[in-house]
Structure 1
Amino acid sequence: MRDDLRDWSRELTGALQERRISNNAAAQRVNVSPATFTSWANGVTRPSVEALPAIARLTGLSVWYLHELAGYLPDSYAPATAVIQATETQRGLYRSIRRWAEQSLEATGLTPAAHAAGLILDHDKSWELTLRPNVKGQAHPIASHTLIGLRQPRGNSRPLHEIRRELDAAIGPSLTSLGVRWRNRRVPGWPDAPDLLLEVPEFERTRAATRSDATPTPLPPVIAVLGVPYAHAELVGALAADAVGYGYVNSYSEICARFELGLGPSNQDVAESGARLLQTNLERRDGFPRRTVWTCAYPEAFEEPVIDALAERTDQFFVYVRVGPRLLEFGADVWKYDLAKCRAMADRLEAFAERMGPHRCGVVTLTDTEVFARDAQDGVTDQAVRAAASLLELLDVRPQDRTGYLGDL
């Protein structure tokens, strides 16, 4: 349990016990997985700020008190001063709270990888951990993820599959909520990397919006970035969100946490669960939060019923990250996807972009010539950064209005 969440855990579990509500029942009513809610209730991970109003209705605790317990209010702000509960005022304060929540990561220096390392050492202090930013790109280097290498204590030579199973069972749900997964591919530039490697999203982590609704350029309420596997639609989306102050949804993290897939799910499980999650969000009016960028890069998720439902969402602007045939084949091999499925997805994306037209679907391109002019991982990262900048041009976001990584280019 985290020291800063002890009061939160005590108050929440006490309120649930008084009302005879189990964690599983509470999770269902708050619309998160039982594993995620249990992690919140036990003070292992900080609760999602978006879930606090639902938890308040469930427990009878004041929503402002829950914000204080969860550490989302600055020291100068006390619930006792928040006697104004008018809806319009509450909305403004809620936006500020979400901003404070996101900025608290940078203020404390607690990155997702540092949080994950703390959870691992809290479970077993004998591990030797190495944190290594996974920097890719030559012209535009960026660390979208951090790698955590795990080495067993000397004299311990347990089979790797046993260690993975134990870690997944003990703290898997908490790590999954941070977007952590096992990495099974080699790491260029790290020849002596440990046999056990975890990958943690940093730049591509799920995060809340950081700007108010009053932006210099009118933007679509929701932006969806679509691409085949390894088109780096996730990085393009995360860069664009960072530049305009939008929130970003890491689809992989959301899928694994929602469906409790663990740290090493198969591509098939992720894709099928992603299709279910996307369909659920499309059926709900509030399935996609405003001022958010989300991505889809799973062939099984982008089928005809979903395509038709997406076309009806007039609140969204779509971006198709087009790739050349060589990069498409390369990506299918890297992620071990069936090449025919990836080609079929590319064909559906082309048809979707033509169906939507340029006013509802922009197209940015990663060319084979540029990607493979150097190391492919560096080349595709550099091209993804340029594609994100092209996306901002499509949205008429002026260079002087951009923030974050693209604002510094």
Structure 2
Amino acid sequence: MSVLDETMHETLHRPFDVAVVGGGVMGCTTALFLARAGMRVALIERNALCRAASGVNAGTLTLHMTRAALVPYAMRAWKMWMNTDQWLGEGVLATAAPGLSLAFTENERELLRTRAAARREYGAEIDLLAPEAALKIEPGLNPAMLEAAYCTTDGFASAYLTGRAYHSALRAAGVQIFENTPATRIEQLNGHYRVHGPQTASAPVRIDATRIVMAGGVWLEPLLAMLGIHIPVKTLTNQLIVTERMPPVMRTVLSIANGLLSMKQFANGSVVIGGGWQGVGDRERGPVETIPQNLTGNLRLAQHVIPALAKARVARIWLGLESETADAMPMIGALPGLDNAYVIGCVHSGYTSGPYMGKLLSQAILGDTPELPLFDPARLIAAPAASETPAASAISHREHTQ
């Protein structure tokens, strides 16, 4: 065995204080804060850091599309995004911009008012504007709108740069990063956990740790099953569209009250268009292919909101996977029945809230009282599927309409 192999063998078989399985924004932030607190941390990612959901989303940092109960978390995360150079060490082109959510029909106006009121109850500063006031803020809007909700706590960041920034910060904090290393099996041994990975040139990967954090996004369901925890996780396959560069046509982050549109224009002139329109894909196969009629519908909706987009040409299209629990709320906290085992994930608008969610979980693991409450995963193990109980269905519907 070479000196390098001996060093790697010792590194992998001397137990870490914590192993974080999943290298998206939430897993990376958890690992970073734990390492800075003095823990020896291993971060295990099946691909490259922040290249799954955290790398292919639109980078939107908005309260308009955040579930009402998550607004306090998103507001604190928004401040973190705007100051990544201070706590992450690098900027990620985070841009503060006002956000407008629009209503073009009476049903949308009712929904707009309901959602704005619900978010205001949780601390969001959202004002309702008449069309004339909205047009002063965003002159390129279709004047056929009936009403707009306005929020200054909005903006966007570069999802691509996020992974680079976390990689540098984690290395500087001493985190041992295992990229392109899917967890194939997890053992519960005496006083610690062993994460098994793929076969390498010299030996199979085995990583021992006293604590374990599951942060695998859409892969949380099979990962938790390795620990004997069964929580259904739904996979959404969202389509995103990027236009070629064009002259400035918008200066705000725009959405529609029904949630079917989200878009903004970057400094280079390209416009990113999304809104949850689905493509073909799943957890096992990943993103597979787009659905043309959904792309067309998304584009037409964008052109209806900003008529100047009729001149835009599509540069590229991609798909991103998003995870969701039965009640459409996160699971963040200790796993029941297991010692020193935790989970974090399934956060709607997870890119927006991700850094703060990871910070909260790290506080709990370190024995501190989290600044805001966590989201006990035990509720998802004990409760039946949402479709089986009227109460659960009501919760899901309420969260989707707020």
Q: Same fold (TM over 0.5)?
A: no
Which of structures 1 and 2 has the larger relative contact order (alpha carbons within 8 angstroms, sep 6+)? Answer: 2
TM-score by length of 2: 0.27
Say which structure is richer in helix: 1
Say which structure is richer in strand: 2
